């Protein structure tokens, strides 16, 4: 078709001959769904990229339509680039067909038109070129898994009764999916799908639907529903099972009303993965049968959306392993390895980059610090920035940039901006709220830190980490009695969670209850396998109690450990402070400054640093990191 036949709008005129073969898409929403983009994006492409959209004038209204075959050919030839900034500036054209739809009127609406753009965007679209059979089988597994997750997520939302007032948030827990494959090595797959389901559901309507985070979900697994309802304050529970055999995955799910254990909805999703096109058709049919209403969401609310139309199945598998290790905090190094594998298999996988960034950020800070901040934090930044280049609306990546800004760059304005962006994009993700709470401690906004901690506990009520952080905030507020009460409660509930012993021992130490403090630090050393932070706190408390010899033994333990792994200079500074050797302590703090240790920004609030505050070197150190 020549350019002279294209009207000023950029749309192609109606065909002069018979229409092209293939499916006809009769609204902007259907066109956007077919291309796996939002309506705003495809309307912009029509204007700027000559997207083959046709128009029909009728009664002073212009309706649009397009043929799937033409769109696929255009996409294959054009390979358009996503431009979120251009999309944001584009003025959206009303979808006449969508506005004029009436129930049971006219033709049956297409499948995609029944699903909000934010959900449609997560469904994989048909690729123009069909890959070889072996590749198709592998691709089908990853695509089907992702599609099933999206489908179940929206179906669950649809079936939750809407009798609850709009201003009252409905709360749901997704219990860990059971692995029925018979292979314990596949536990990560079922756990990863559970985590993905939590993320998907949490992004649908954060103002009205609260979804419990994975930590509390796992802790309540296997308990009676009434007990789960009381512990998590939820009205609904989603439970299910996953069976993965070769090229087939089957997921059975049930939505339970917790108050009376009524099954509100149940379904099974089984995919024969020999042909990816059949998978697409099955998913579309399932969506049509389950969705009966649309949900008004915006891109800002859809933090878990998928920016790509195609995800390499092996990359998706590795990504789920990464999430599994990250969620359990069992081995952050394995999490990094899994994310790196996902990126190697699919260099355009934005979520894998975001996961990698979070893992590096955690690995380079106290108390997980297995890697020098000088190595870990720049890697976290690079991975986060790359994730945002691929998908600017990933809240997790913005949270990492905020973490790096305040704990490594000491750039607090940037940190505040990135935190706000992260929490806007991912309001149901507890990690941005966790890190922002620590930022508030550093900025001496302790009441706000408690409020952020309450938000994390609302999302993850029985998390030992978030319960320990509450004790930490009380400690920095110098409310040692409250810290002791909170930390004791946490250690009683989670006796093997060693981080809680840090704050129980620290609060007891500040009350000069040295014997009790040493007992807690000693228990922490045992549970953590002699982690450097516990050795340091133990040695500092020994010094304050008058046992200088014991404190120097702790220093020797740290030195020996430093021959095998990274040990922060901050830990040596703490013991020397307890010994009263302030000059040596400040020497070690200067080394910690060269390492850009993340805990330096806490010195303004840290009670352990009180003996150093009158020294000009300490004041100068605070000034260098922006703590005036």
**Do residue 282 and residue 158 come from a single domain?**
yes
DSSP character string of 394-430: -HHHHHHHHHHIIIII--HHHHHHHHHHHHHH-TT-H
Q: Quick check: is 45 in a domain?
A: yes
pLDDT at 281 > cutoff 50: no
Least confident of 262-271, 363-372, 513-522, 570-579: 262-271
Residue 141 exposure: Cα atoms within 13 Å on the Cβ side = 21
**Do residue 267 and residue 194 come from a single domain?**
yes
**Do residue 564 and residue 616 come from a single domain?**
yes
Tokens of 114: 């029944």
pLDDT at 148 > cutoff 70: no
Least confident of 152-156, 376-380, 419-423, 454-458: 152-156
What pTM does this model have?
0.68
pLDDT, tens digit (0-9, with 9 covering 90-100), for 100-114: 443 333 333 333 332
394 band by pLDDT with thresholds 50, 70 and 90: very high
Instruction: Please name the residue ranges forming H helices in 81-212.
Output: 84-89, 96-100, 117-120, 133-159, 187-204
Query: What mean pLDDT is predicted for residues 306-320?
Result: 68
pLDDT at 540 > cutoff 50: yes
Is the model more confident about 207 or about 232? Answer: 232
Asked whether 37 and 74 are in contact (CB, 8 A), the reply is: no
The confidence score (pLDDT) of residue 149 equals: 64
Q: Quick check: is 503 in a domain?
A: no
Q: Quick check: is 478 in a domain?
A: no
**Do residue 106 and residue 188 come from a single domain?**
no
Counted residue by residue, the chain has a size of 628
The confidence score (pLDDT) of residue 552 equals: 98
pLDDT at 277 > cutoff 70: no
Among residues 237, 50, 276, the alpha carbon closest in space to that of 144 is found at 276
Where a domain ends, among 281, 303, 325? 303
**The domain spanning residue 235 has which CATH number?**
3.40.50.10610
CA distance 193 to 449: 32
CA distance 248 to 241: 14
Among residues 193, 280, 209, 171, the alpha carbon closest in space to that of 244 is found at 193
Beta-bridge partner residues of 267: 253
511 band by pLDDT with thresholds 50, 70 and 90: very high
**Do residue 27 and residue 84 come from a single domain?**
yes
400 band by pLDDT with thresholds 50, 70 and 90: very high
pLDDT at 325 > cutoff 90: no
The confidence score (pLDDT) of residue 32 equals: 77
Number of domains present in the structure of the chain: 3
User: Collapsing DSSP states into helix, strand and coil, what is residue 31?
Assistant: helix
pLDDT at 72 > cutoff 90: no
Radius of gyration of the chain (CA): 27
Structural domain that includes position 278: 133-303
pLDDT, tens digit (0-9, with 9 covering 90-100), for 284-294: 333 333 323 23
The confidence score (pLDDT) of residue 147 equals: 61
The confidence score (pLDDT) of residue 275 equals: 33
CA distance 26 to 107: 11
**Do residue 185 and residue 281 come from a single domain?**
yes
Tokens of 46: 């029509």
Tell me the pLDDT of the chain averaged across its residues. Answer: 78
Q: Which of 86-90, 163-167, 272-276 has the highest mean pLDDT?
A: 86-90
The residues, ordered by sequence, that sit 6+ positions from 104 with a Cβ below 8 Å of its Cβ are none
**Do residue 176 and residue 271 come from a single domain?**
yes
Q: Quick check: is 459 in a domain?
A: no
Asked whether 449 and 473 are in contact (CB, 8 A), the reply is: yes
**Do residue 164 and residue 237 come from a single domain?**
yes
Asked whether 547 and 553 are in contact (CB, 8 A), the reply is: no
The residues, ordered by sequence, that sit 6+ positions from 45 with a Cβ below 8 Å of its Cβ are 37, 51, 80
**Do residue 167 and residue 72 come from a single domain?**
no
Asked whether 360 and 379 are in contact (CB, 8 A), the reply is: yes
What Å distances lie between residue 554 and 159, 562, 565, 575, 576, CA to CA?
58, 12, 16, 8, 11
Give helix 395-404 / helix 350-363 axis angle, nearest 10°: 30
Q: Quick check: is 506 in a domain?
A: no
Q: Quick check: is 543 in a domain?
A: yes
Residue 253 phi, psi dihedral angles, 5° rounding: -135, 150
CA distance 23 to 7: 24
Where a domain ends, among 303, 333, 360? 303
Among residues 145, 244, 146, 143, the alpha carbon closest in space to that of 187 is found at 244
Where a domain ends, among 279, 303, 327? 303
262 band by pLDDT with thresholds 50, 70 and 90: confident
Asked whether 353 and 391 are in contact (CB, 8 A), the reply is: no
Residue where the block lists tokens 């959900």: 119
Q: Quick check: is 342 in a domain?
A: no
Q: Quick check: is 546 in a domain?
A: yes
Asked whether 472 and 501 are in contact (CB, 8 A), the reply is: no
Dihedral angle of Cα 422, 423, 429, 431, to the nearest 10 degrees: 70
**Do residue 279 and residue 177 come from a single domain?**
yes
**Do residue 139 and residue 79 come from a single domain?**
no
pLDDT at 21 > cutoff 90: no
pLDDT at 401 > cutoff 80: yes
**Do residue 226 and residue 292 come from a single domain?**
yes
What Å distances lie between residue 440 and 396, 419, 426, 436, 577, CA to CA?
19, 11, 19, 6, 26
């Amino acid at each position: 078709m020549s350019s002279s036949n294209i009207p000023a709008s950029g749309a192609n005129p109606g065909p002069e001959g018979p229409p092209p073969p293939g499916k006809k898409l009769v609204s902007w929403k259907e066109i956007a769904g077919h291309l796996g983009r939002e309506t705003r994006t495809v309307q912009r492409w029509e204007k700027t990229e000559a997207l083959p959209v046709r128009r029909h004038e009728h009664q002073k209204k212009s309706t649009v339509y397009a043929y799937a075959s033409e769109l696929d050919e255009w996409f294959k030839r054009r390979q358009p680039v996503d431009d979120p900034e251009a999309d944001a500036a584009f003025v959206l054209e009303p979808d006449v067909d969508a506005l004029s739809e009436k129930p049971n009127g006219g033709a049956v609406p297409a499948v995609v038109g029944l699903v909000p753009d934010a959900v449609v965007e997560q469904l994989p679209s048909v690729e123009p070129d069909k890959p070889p059979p072996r590749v198709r089988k592998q691709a089908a597994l990853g695509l089907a898994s992702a599609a099933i997750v999206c489908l179940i997520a929206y179906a669950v939302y649809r079936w939750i009764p809407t009798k609850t007032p709009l201003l009252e948030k409905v709360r749901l827990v997704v219990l860990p999916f059971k692995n029925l494959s018979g292979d314990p090595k596949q536990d990560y797959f079922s756990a990863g799908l559970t985590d993905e389901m939590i993320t998907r559901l949490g992004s649908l309507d954060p103002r009205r639907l609260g979804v419990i985070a994975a930590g509390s979900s796992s802790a309540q697994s296997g308990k009676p529903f009434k007990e789960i309802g009381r512990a998590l304050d939820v009205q609904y529970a989603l439970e299910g099972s996953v069976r993965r055999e070769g090229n087939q995955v089957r997921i059975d799910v049930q939505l339970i009303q917790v108050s009376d254990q009524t099954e509100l909805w149940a379904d099974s999703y089984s995919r024969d993965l020999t042909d990816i096109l059949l998978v697409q058709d099955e998913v579309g049919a399932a969506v049509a049968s389950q969705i009966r209403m649309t949900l008004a969401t915006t891109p800002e609310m859809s933090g878990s959306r998928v920016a790509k139309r195609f995800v390499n199945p092996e990359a998706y598998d590795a990504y789920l392993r990464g999430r599994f290790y990250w969620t359990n905090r069992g081995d952050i190094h394995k999490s990094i390895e899994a994310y790196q594998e996902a990126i190697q298999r699919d260099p355009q996988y934005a979520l894998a980059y975001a996961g990698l960034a979070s893992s590096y950020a955690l690995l380079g800070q106290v108390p997980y610090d297995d890697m020098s901040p000088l190595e870990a934090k720049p890697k976290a930044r690079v991975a986060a920035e790359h994730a945002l280049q691929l998908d600017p609306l990933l809240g997790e990546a913005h949270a990492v940039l905020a973490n790096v800004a305040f704990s490594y760059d000491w750039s607090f304005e940037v940190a505040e901006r990135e935190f706000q962006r992260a929490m806007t994009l991912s309001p149901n993700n507890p990690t941005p709220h966790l890190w922002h709470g620590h930022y508030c401690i550093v900025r001496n906004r302790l009441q706000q830190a408690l409020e952020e901690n309450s938000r994390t506990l609302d999302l993850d009520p029985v998390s030992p980490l978030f319960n320990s952080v509450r004790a930490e905030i009380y400690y920095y507020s110098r409310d040692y009695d409250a810290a002791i009460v909170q930390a004791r409660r946490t250690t009683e509930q989670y006796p093997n969670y060693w981080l809680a012993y840090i704050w129980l021992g620290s609060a007891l130490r500040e009350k000069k209850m040295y014997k009790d403090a040493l007992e807690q630090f000693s228990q922490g050393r045992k549970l953590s396998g002699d982690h450097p932070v516990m050795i340091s706190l133990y040695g500092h408390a020994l010094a304050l109690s008058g046992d200088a010899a014991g404190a120097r033994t702790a220093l020797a333990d740290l030195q020996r450990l430093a021959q095998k792994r990274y040990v922060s200079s901050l830990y040596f500074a703490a013991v020397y402070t307890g010994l009263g050797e302030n000059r040596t302590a400040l020497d070690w703090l200067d080394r910690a400054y060269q390492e850009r240790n993340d805990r330096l920004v806490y010195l303004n609030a840290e009670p352990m640093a009180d003996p150093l505050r009158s020294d000009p070197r300490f004041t100068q150190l605070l000034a260098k990191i922006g703590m005036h």
